[in-house]
Copies of this chain bind each other. A is one copy, B any other.
Amino acid sequence: MAKKPEIPHVVVSRLPIYLRALEHARQEGLTCISSQELGERLSISSAQIRKDLSMFGEYGKQGRGYPVDALIHALRQHLHVDRVWDVVLVGVGDLGHALARYKGFAERGFRIAMAFDKDPAKIGTTAGDLTVEDIRLLARRVQEAGIKIGMIATPAAAAQEVANLLVFAGVRAILNYAPIHLTVPNDVRVEYLDPVIPLQRMTYYL
């Protein structure tokens, strides 16, 4: 039952890219798209796209391509974004504020439901349409709300401690903006968004 454990992560990691491109294609009015057209838009080979998608079912029609609406629907289901996930934000500096106000989450399956900071000067202030709460209340509040996703926007020095707290509170997926590798239990996922890493990946070639 669980989660088709046979799908390689490298394939899973491409699905959100496909989904995003399909949503753009739909906005343009496309109702059907071939693996070749999709591949050209994403700089991915059409064979790869067909192989990836075929792992989840037979969504395509020979001679026509993939029905955009149905494929969007299916990918959302497989990715579990056919619902809205509540997210807890920790760290409400400049970046935390920007995240709290970012409109792009809601339309794509995520809602920042709570924001915490440890700085007394920030607690009680507003971030987006949230009130910043005391981090000492995090565990109880997150547990009670059953929140499974956390975003860390603190300085690096605080990030591991925050991660431990989130895991203790029941969070199972962490988006980490702090520039540090996190150590978490095996059943917890972490994704990293330190902007300097991709910059340094590119300067190698400059």
Contacts known (A85-B203, A200-B81); A20 close to B179, Cβ less than 8 A: yes
In the bound assembly, the distance between CA atoms of A21 and B203 in angstroms comes to 18
- Per assembly, the copies of the chain total 2
A-B contact pairs, 12 of them (CB 8 A): A15-B201, A15-B204, A79-B200, A85-B206, A87-B199, A95-B98, A97-B98, A102-B195, A148-B206, A173-B202, A173-B203, A193-B193
A204 touches B3 (CB 8 A): yes
Residues of A within 8 A of B (CB): 3, 12-13, 15-17, 19-21, 24, 41-43, 78-81, 85, 87, 94-95, 97-99, 101-102, 104-105, 108-110, 148-149, 151, 156, 172-173, 175, 179-181, 183, 189, 191-206
Question: Sorted from nearest, which 6 A-B pairs have the closest CB atoms?
Answer: A191-B198, A173-B202, A16-B200, A94-B98, A98-B98, A80-B203
